[in-house]
Chains A and B, each alone.
Chain A
Amino acid sequence: MAKDTNPPVTKIINCRLIRDKIIYDDVLYLQNGTIIDPLVNFFECGEEPTRVIDAKGALVAPGFIDIQVNGGFGFDFSQCEVGGEQVYVENMKKIARRLLKFGCTSFMPTLISSASEVYHKILPLLCPRKGSKNDGAEILGSHVEGPFISYNKKGAHEQSTLHNAPNGFSDIAKVYGISETGNNHSIRLVTVAPEVEGVMDSIHDLTRVGITVSIGHSTATTEQAEKAVEKGARLITHLFNAMQPFHHRNPGIIGLLGTTRIPRPYYGIICDGIHVHPNSLRIAYDAHPHGAILVTDAVPAMGLPPGEHTLGQVRVRKIGNERVEVIETGKLAGAVVSIDKCIQNFKKFSGCSIVQAIEAATLHPAQLLGIQHRKGTLNVGSDADLVFLDDDLNVITCFIAGEQV
């Protein structure tokens, strides 16, 4: 009978659930990697849960979502050796598995500006795929940062790879190697500079093929940035970094946080206390609390032990767990913070509540990508990606697709 074949149900008891912005003393039922309605299960199925897990009063939050991961544990998502696809995929899986220990259950591998051939080769490897205990965190598709960005705000991107798009969207599609009509590709997010030739008029086309558009690595004025948002851009990439600093008469991209004319976009923010001063973070948060999205922007040195490492051709030194710098120049070589630490910092710097801090790494990125029906909340029907946290927001354990890690 059907009853005998009911898939196993896991009941998690004694949890403090974050649901609808409130922390509840509650229980959670999981089945088939999904959060199910406990009331329906209890009164309808008539069977006891197969497994009962005692959360012992832990905070239970949706799994964290990181929309900007350049690499980690010594591996760079933008590098793929000739014929090295197999190795690339294996390494990606390794990162995906290791991200789970930070509570990160979904992420977007992020490519920095690269030559067209690199996109053609790597992008097909980054198609969205479900997470599991074996495969690690879910891949939500790729985040392509560049190459249609500003020379003046290129950051660590290689100048020779930067592009403009005089023929509009067809140039962009050609560089990425994607079709101009369908959404049969892995890209879910791009970072572009709207002032680069041809980009502004391509924003609508990008959204048409299922790509969320973000403004970043850009010298755009407030007016240009507002226009880009009107065209469909919905995010600012790592706010404050790689853009014009705030000036009261010309606030640049940061000025979007103060606009009243149009809906304000979300903004990614690197919360390691180094890339953005805590006070700046608080200003941004107070201006637009519901737009904050925590990103790690992690580089390959993330997850490596402190000390000297070679990344690509560059020798870097990692100091503690937060700072990594190029040995030759002493310059910052990117962020190495983990997402759980970002949330702790965010709460501390912004003075927000636990719920608000967690939402900046769960609900907000899910809303940005339009996947809030299955990610970023603990609502019935969502994927069973969970993080157990103590009151200081340290990760105790993590569930991916209903499996405890």
Chain B
Amino acid sequence: MRLIIRKDYDQVSEYMASYIKKRILEFKPTPNRPFVLGLPTGSSPIGTYKKLVEYHRKGELSFQDVITFNMDEYVGLPRDHPESYHSFMWNHFFKYIDIKPQNAHVLNGNASDLDAECLQFEEKIKAVGGIELFLGGIGPDGHIAFNEPGSSLTSRTRVKTLAYDTIIANSRFFDGDISKVPRMALTVGVGTVMDAHEVAVIISGAHKALALAKCIEEALIVCDEDATLELHVKTVRYFTNIEKVQAELIGLENVGLQGGIKKYSTPVPSPVRDQFYGVPFKTPFKKE
């Protein structure tokens, strides 16, 4: 697991978006070998989507050969309802990019056979070779998609009844009226997420601190400083420093995008190293 700590939400979004960009570019997707991306909704990813749109507009990133799968959708909510996850994805992301409509998969919460819809979704993921990178956010209690804490780690895409806490929490999007909140949702399972080659989780804000502290392993997590409040000081410093070590001792060019080290070159004393140890480094021979 890697934990990337950034100062605030904007920097988290920037890191995550540029990470996704680099992953896609490094993957060099083609129509026959598309990049498969899992996507969340909610407040966490909005900034990331915004950044990705920016990259797309600058011509740095195309989604022509990207296939997306969304995590979840309410059951029985009209697709064009402003709070549906179809609307969310359209308004924050899909409308601005060049993704092909047939490549953007969002669960249909109005399907006549919901179980079949979930099965098909899993099959579609399998058919394109699984998810390369699953982007996620987690709730204050650690839920991912509509998988409440305690959901089976092997669960697959299925119909879930919403926990009462979730209904209350989500009523803020439905005029504060609990009766308007859908009672069920379709959601990918924890197993579906963990099957992805890589999972990247965005965590931002002090209210997510407990969730982060108890967070599941095997993930790339990008969070802001507030979200680290419940972590041990040591942990925060460990993860903050590990990035610094990699960047300054090994050199960014020697670190793979997913954290692997390509080559370790013996560090040579340099002014950069000075800064790292915080003590001035004396060069015996001063060059003019």
Interface residues of A (CB under 8 A from B): 13-14, 26-27, 37-43, 45-48, 52
Contacts and interface: CB of A to CB of B under 8 A. Distances in A.
A63 B73 CA distance: 38
Contacts of B102: 46-47
Contact of B94 (A14, A42, A52): A42
A39 B101 contact: no
Nearest to B98: A52
Contact of B79 (A26, A38, A43, A52): A43
Contacts of A37: 80
B57 A38 contact: no
A39 B79 contact: yes
Contacts of B237: none
A26 B95 contact: yes
Which of the listed residues B79, B90, B100, B101 has the most CB atoms from chain A within 10 Å of its own CB? B101
B80 A42 contact: no
Which 7 pairs show the lowest CB-CB distances between chains A and B? A39-B90, A46-B102, A27-B95, A42-B101, A46-B101, A48-B100, A39-B80
A125 to B, nearest CB: 43
Contacts of A39: 79-80, 86-87, 90
Nearest to B79: A43
Given A43-B79, A43-B106, A38 B90 contact: yes
Interface string B67-111: 000000000000110000011001000111010111010100000
Interface of A is mostly: mixed
B140 to A, nearest CB: 30
Which of the listed residues B87, B90, B106 has the most CB atoms from chain A within 10 Å of its own CB? B90
Interface in B96-150: 96, 98, 100-102, 104, 106
B100 A38 contact: no
B101 A47 contact: yes
B109 to A, nearest CB: 12
B101 A43 contact: yes
B241 to A, nearest CB: 40
Nearest to B57: A14
Given A39-B87, A43-B101, 16 more contacts: A14-B57, A27-B95, A37-B80, A39-B86, A40-B79, A40-B80, A42-B94, A42-B101, A42-B104, A43-B79, A43-B90, A43-B106, A45-B101, A46-B102, A47-B101, A48-B101
Interface of B: 57, 79-80, 86-87, 90, 94-96, 98, 100-102, 104, 106
Nearest to A39: B90
Contacts of B57: 14
30 contacts: A13-B96, A14-B57, A26-B95, A27-B95, A27-B96, A37-B80, A38-B90, A38-B95, A39-B79, A39-B80, A39-B86, A39-B87, A39-B90, A40-B79, A40-B80, A41-B101, A42-B90, A42-B94, A42-B95, A43-B79, A43-B90, A43-B101, A43-B106, A46-B101, A46-B102, A47-B101, A47-B102, A48-B100, A48-B101, A52-B98
Which of the listed residues A13, A41, A42, A47 has the most CB atoms from chain B within 10 Å of its own CB? A42
A281 to B, nearest CB: 38
Given A26-B95, A27-B95, A38-B95, A43 B100 contact: no
A42 B97 CA distance: 12
A26 B53 CA distance: 12
Nearest to B86: A43
Contacts of A46: 101-102
Contacts of B87: 39
Nearest to A43: B86
Nearest to A38: B95
B59 to A, nearest CB: 11
Contacts of A52: 98
A43 B109 CA distance: 13
Which of the listed residues B86, B95, B100, B106 has the most CB atoms from chain A within 10 Å of its own CB? B95
Contacts of B80: 37, 39-40
A23 to B, nearest CB: 16
A26 B95 CA distance: 8
Contacts of B90: 38-39, 42-43
Contacts of A47: 101-102
B17 to A, nearest CB: 17
Contacts of A40: 79-80
Nearest to B84: A39
A150 B98 CA distance: 61
Contacts of A41: 101
A45 B86 CA distance: 14
A29 to B, nearest CB: 9
A384 to B, nearest CB: 17
Which of the listed residues A26, A40, A43, A52 has the most CB atoms from chain B within 10 Å of its own CB? A43
A16 to B, nearest CB: 13
A43 B73 CA distance: 14
B53 to A, nearest CB: 9
Nearest to B80: A39
Contacts of B98: 52
Contacts of A13: 96
A46 to B, nearest CB: 5
